[in-house]
Amino acid sequence: MVSQKEPSIDNFVAQQIRNIMKTTNIFLSRIRILAIIGVVVAILALLAFNTLDSSSKANEKNVASPALSVKTATPLFKKITEWDEYTGRFEASNRVEVRARVSGFLEKVNFTDGELVKKGQVLFVIDQRPFKIELDQAQANYAQSISSLKSAQDNFKRVESLRETGALSIEEYERRKQVLVHAEAGVQLAQAQVDKAELNLEFTEIKAPISGLVSRDRVNEGNLVDGGSANSTMLTTIVATSPIHFYFTESESDYLKYVRLASDGKRKSVRTEGLPVEIKLADEEDFLHEATLDFVDNEIDRQSGTIESRAVLQNEDHLLEPGMFGKARLMGSAKHDAIMIPDEIIGTNQSLRYVYVLGNNNQVVSKNVSLGPLHSNGLRIIRGGLAPDDHLIINNIQKVRPGMVVNPQESNINPEKSGLTASK
């Protein structure tokens, strides 16, 4: 009985274990199914979100902002005369170093530092007493020489009458004649000494050799000055500033250009006809001072390859001083048609210069240009690459690119201010 019951219990336990495992497998299968469904749902949701986001971005792109607005203007096209500009320095038309011509103690200074003096005005006085004594001595020697000459003349007249009668020897006659010649030479020597003493006395008054502005006194009263030699004491300087000179240098190519213009009759000669020159100072915006070209040097400097020129200004108000810097301009071409644009719209690509213009269908086009100098109105002269009817893009230069479609707005170029203004 006992042996029959034990297998039944084992079977029951085994059956229960199988039931539990089956239930567990069913539960795990359901979990796996739910997990798979969740992943699928998440993937579908993500795809849907991406699709909606892409659609939204595509719509936003399709509804993009309008084309970039830019201002356009045609270049300034007119007849002009080109001007060449040179930097130079003013120099006095005449400059003198006032030096002593005799030595002595400086007794008096007769001018105020920096004043305008006239030619012949006494500036310094050296102690005259020693020179007056020398003059008195020279005059006394001259008087003695005159007396000796008269005595020699009287003696010669007496022996001359005796010679005719034969009462005087030839030797005595010749001796008296030599005494007369010596006396005449003594008078000439004494007169020269008088002239020299008078001149030295005159040199004690040091006068202005030219009219102009005097500098300060380099030597004060009471000092000993040295004169009459290469190392004579310099007392002051005088510069003539009315008229005043303006010196500048130009290149060899510029000089050749001017000569050829004169040869073709398009401009006056640089050497003989006095070309007009305009000059402005360091603190001036415009060329306010009128001058005339009166000198061109006779050779080109071999080291710098330039030639020096000079313009002369009247400077009646004494505004201009020697040593001041200035800028001169003179006519560099005959009248001709020129295209001009503002400098600020010109771009740079290595060695190339370019501008943006409006092409077909409002597309941006890049054009390479050849640059000339700045004109007096502040605009850049264009030698080539542009046509008078090209529509230049004059703003938003950093934003536009070739091939880009833009929304143009008409503007114009204001040459007076070298700027850009929108048309109304």
**What does the alpha-carbon distance between residue 380 and residue 64 come to, in Å, rounded to a whole number?**
38
Task: Categorise residue 86: left if φ over 0, alpha if ψ from -120 to 50, beta otherwise.
Answer: beta
Structural domains in the chain (count): 2
DSSP β-ladder status, 392-393 and 419-422: unpaired
Q: Are residues 74 and 19 in the same domain?
A: no
* Domain-ending residue, one of 63, 95, 115: 63
| CATH (domain of 74) | 2.40.420.20
Quick: pLDDT tens for 255-281.
998 888 888 887 777 777 778 899 999
**What does the alpha-carbon distance between residue 210 and residue 167 come to, in Å, rounded to a whole number?**
66
pLDDT at 424: 33
pLDDT at 133: 95
- Helix (H) / strand (E) element for 358: namely strand 352-358
**What does the alpha-carbon distance between residue 331 and residue 309 come to, in Å, rounded to a whole number?**
14
pLDDT at 2: 42
Question: How many residues are given for the chain?
Answer: 424
Domain of residue 24, residue span: 1-63
Q: Are residues 34 and 74 in the same domain?
A: no
pLDDT at 377: 83
Q: How many CA atoms lie within 13 A of 187 on its CB side?
A: 14
**What does the alpha-carbon distance between residue 304 and residue 285 come to, in Å, rounded to a whole number?**
29
* Spatial CB neighbours of 106, under 8 Å, sequence gap ≥ 6: 124, 125, 126, 127, 219, 220, 221, 222, 223, 224, 225, 235
pLDDT at 10: 62
Specify if 251 maps to a domain. no
Asked if residue 397 lies in contact with residue 347, where contact means CB atoms within 8 angstroms, the answer is yes
* Domain-ending residue, one of 36, 63, 90: 63
Q: Are residues 7 and 75 in the same domain?
A: no
Quick: pLDDT tens for 353-372.
999 999 998 999 999 999 98
* Residue where the block lists tokens 């603190």: 283
3-state secondary structure of 232: coil
Q: Are residues 381 and 415 in the same domain?
A: yes
Would you give the end-to-end CA distance of the chain in angstroms?
A: 123
Residue type, 149: L
Q: Are residues 3 and 75 in the same domain?
A: no
Specify if 270 maps to a domain. no
* Residue where the block lists tokens 């007794």: 107
What is the full per-residue pLDDT of the chain (424 aa) written as tens digits?
Answer: 344 444 556 666 566 666 666 666 665 566 667 667 766 667 776 666 665 555 555 454 444 557 889 999 999 998 888 888 999 999 999 999 999 999 999 999 999 999 999 999 999 999 999 999 999 999 999 999 999 889 888 887 877 767 666 666 777 777 878 888 888 899 999 999 999 999 999 999 999 999 999 999 999 999 999 998 888 999 999 999 999 999 999 999 999 988 888 888 877 777 777 788 999 999 998 899 999 999 999 999 999 999 999 999 999 988 999 999 999 998 888 788 899 999 899 999 888 999 999 999 899 999 999 998 888 788 999 999 999 999 999 998 889 899 999 999 998 887 764 444 433 3
Specify if 36 maps to a domain. yes
Residue type, 293: L
pLDDT at 62: 46
Specify if 91 maps to a domain. no
* Spatial CB neighbours of 292, under 8 Å, sequence gap ≥ 6: 274, 275, 276, 277, 311, 312
Q: Are residues 405 and 356 in the same domain?
A: yes
Dihedral angle of Cα 157, 163, 165, 166, to the nearest 10 degrees: 160
Q: Are residues 27 and 74 in the same domain?
A: no
* Domain-ending residue, one of 12, 28, 63: 63
The greatest distance separating any two alpha carbons of the chain, rounded to the nearest whole angstrom, comes to: 222
What phi and psi, each to the nearest 5 degrees, are found at residue 29? -65, -40
* Spatial CB neighbours of 277, under 8 Å, sequence gap ≥ 6: 246, 290, 291, 292, 293, 311, 328, 329, 330
